[in-house]
Structure 1
């Protein structure tokens, strides 16, 4: 059953989750990086730099910079596609899965706080 939220409640939920993330996790992902990370983990693979750029309507260098940061944080890996060496395939990591699992838990907790 879907939960109906007012705009203020929805923003409050987002604020609460964002605040928890800032307080509890030293990684400071931009909104673009978070959108890319969520896409990689929520949409079935394979994922390529070219495909992510098209999906998010940004350039390949924008995706590459975001992936550089997320790779340094252990959230994703990149490998060359052996079938087509021009493509770079983005792979999920255990660290990235755990990061998003904790984020999901924070979203659920904030959502519970909104319940009557």
Structure 2
């Protein structure tokens, strides 16, 4: 994969990835949902609703709505923090890990089309 993409090449790659995501039978996530999911899986835990809201610069209800959707898809799970019942801990799931692995494979495959 080329290390340096032009803006047009980068947008073309993003376009192909997004287009393929929409074409697939699975669920496509909004950019907000995807950014939350990536934060949960790429940054070491623990993750809380409060912490995700602060990191993404959004309100807790925004995170909660996104987690509701992703929870229904079994991409994440939630549980109360036993040490502080006000906190909700976000847990990774096998389905979420597989979703992101397939997305990563798709990005790599589409990036090969960008290579000279």
Report the TM-score when normalising by structure 2: 0.97
Task: List structure 1 runs of 4+ shifted beyond 6 angstroms.
Answer: none
Residue 5 (1) aligns with residue 5 (2): yes
Aligned counterparts, 1:1-116, within 5 A: 3-116=3-116
Unpaired segments of 5 or more residues in structure 1?
none
Aligned residues: 116
Unpaired segments of 5 or more residues in structure 2?
none
Matches of 1:91 and 1:26, distance apart in 2: 21
Report the TM-score when normalising by structure 1: 0.97
Structure 1 residue 2 displacement after superposition: 6.3
3-state SS of paired residue (1:16): helix
